[in-house]
Structure 1
Amino acid sequence: MSKPISPSLNAIRSATTGCGLIILVSSNAPGALHQSIRLGRLKKLERLGLATRHGAAHWRLAPGLADTLRHMGERGDIIRTMQRAHAAREIVPAWGDQAIFDPAASDRPLVGRLIERGLSDEHADRHYVIVEAVDGRTYYAEIGKGEAVGSIPENAIVQVSARGSGVRPVDRTIVEVAAMNDGRYTIDAHLKHDPAASERFAETHVRRLEAMRRISGTIDRDVDGSWAITPDHLEKVEIFEARQLRDRPVAIEILSAGSLEKLTTVDAATWIDRELVADAPIPLRDAGFGREVRAAQAARRQWLIAEQLAEEQGGHTVYRRGMLATLQRRELLRVAGQLSDEIGMPFAETKSQQVVRGRLVRVVEMTSGRHALIERSRDFTLVPWRPVMERHIGMSISGVMRDSGASWSFGRQRSGPSVA
């Protein structure tokens, strides 16, 4: 959304002296019309606080004037973009309820309803989103390159938060292990270096190296599965993180793919349910989308009471122990039954500590969250989806289900990519 500097500003800059004063009247002035345009522009800059008058015909320009004007132009484009989005929905919010989300200056994530996603810079593939937040305001947020952010349904409830960057403890551990192993990192070397570490924990370090190799190409993995760690590894990490932050300045999590209206009566664990039982629920303002969420929560409480998953006690709503797990399993079995009819195979529910092996077929969208369909020789199962699975669809997958999650390996090779 960059704006070209106006011709009048170029003319003003060409008339500056070495001390930064603007000379309006001089013997080599191009004419009265040009001087009139220049004078009008300077008065405009003065009203904006970007120029200061010194005498009758001199002005001093504010430092960084060109950048300031460019940012003002970008902000004007953003405001017009938000106005078009509101006009399409026949909404006229107050000026004070429209803002630009700055992840670096925000002390909490932005949570709300996605009302628009678009291109802020078509040539650079930079995208933006407009979100009606639970604090009653509407925000514009830059989300970086479109390829770094998957598709998001319109009216989905999302959380936009700042991404961390820089060297992490996992990077320093990789360097320490490699230093004790002739500059090579392997899971076996890690477990020897730190006998208290589990193989699952070591696999998270392999995931980090795999991401850097795939995206930046600055790290090499040998056919035996070992990784070459050079002395400047932490510098490579800093460069990698800076690029990641530039391409994807925020993290976007879909809290609910379905609209708020659909969540009040759906027989599944919803974002509303998680907020109702949370120890520290998100604060809601009694305005805008925040007011809509409050109304939806009230309707959801009545539905839960009717389903005997909650009850009123002394003016408060008490939720049944295991309510979320009950709702999740209801949806899981219902969707599994539909899939069984579709693919002609029986469903086998996965238990904790069970080993899962099969072929990763596809993602299954559910209200309680995305699941992966894993097909085996005689049946299929559904497990919680992980974003890393996207590029391994169609491949063999194996892992062990645990209450805290699963450790997955893809392909048949022992040293292949894995994710905990």
Structure 2
Amino acid sequence: MSTEDDFEPHLGRLRSRPPRRARRYLQRVLAATNLARGGAAFAGRSRRQSAGSRIGRAAGIGRLLASRGRLSALERRRVVVKTRIVRLAGRGANAAAAHLRYLQRDGTTREGNRGALYGPERDAVEAKDFLARGAGDRHQFRLIVSPEDGAEYEELKPLVRRLMARVEADLGTRLDWVAVDHFNTGHPHSHVIVLGHDQEGNDLVIAPDYLTRGLRERAAELVELDLGPRTTREIARSQLAEIEAERLTAIDRRLVRLAGEDRIVAASAAGVFEQTLRAGRLAKLGQLGLAEDLGQGRWRLAPGLSETLARMGERGDIIRTMQRAFTAARVERAAVDQAIYDPAAPEAAPLVGRVLVRGLADEHRDR
């Protein structure tokens, strides 16, 4: 008869675990291969991130550049790089040809002329020859490179060519690409199309980290070499300009983070300059009806502040696009007569008018 105090002793060292079976030779080889690839260094990361982030060319370089981008963000020259992988199966090839035709439309150069494709060495490239070289590809890459200080460049071709040469060095292969520069918006930018094969004719696979952040860091490096690092005066000027902006700004993001569940935030800050930014921005939000002055330097932010400001920014972009179309067509319209038609609004009346111009709302995604 046993009691709850009975126990059975086991020989061995204190807190020792049962012996493991000896690993087979194949398991040891696989473990050594994983270690050589950096598996031990990124063991913790692999549990948080899919293995797909390490697939493709320049995976290690992409992770290194992405970690570098967190440092001294204010002092660095900023470049926006949008990337998209376009599948060419089905009607994708026809859509790719239409995309190239649209990028070469009239009115996109600094002089208002038709855009021209260029490549690594030639200033004029035929679109049909470029598309013929990618006829068997399963995909292509589309990039938009937009330096914040792009207006400082007389032309963007040298910058794009140096950027793509550095990308080729990072990827370890030659690339087949064309580009066209656009100066028809407030921020000059370049559209780059890269065919989906490497110099050996195999499918070109680029690591996600490099596509999303590595390209941006490479572009920012080159712009900083050309224009030098941002001065304290330039940084202050760009931050002060955000006070009156009718869009979502970095100041707004900081205010939203500081506000509690009651959406109350104080205009006071540790530094004089930061307090100037907060107080000025809160006063502007108050004029827009997006913040309420509670007195004693305390403000209550409107619900959904970030989403409202983002929509206001989109509205401003649409109105500027309309104004450019009016100017090109020599049509005079008062600002009060300009409105964004929203068919979902309950009070929306039928829209009657004349179409001045057709185009894409999003050149990157062909929408």
Report which of the two has the higher share of strand: 1
Regarding TM over 0.5, the answer is no
After TM superposition, the score normalised by the length of structure 2 is: 0.32
TM-score, normalization by structure 1: 0.29
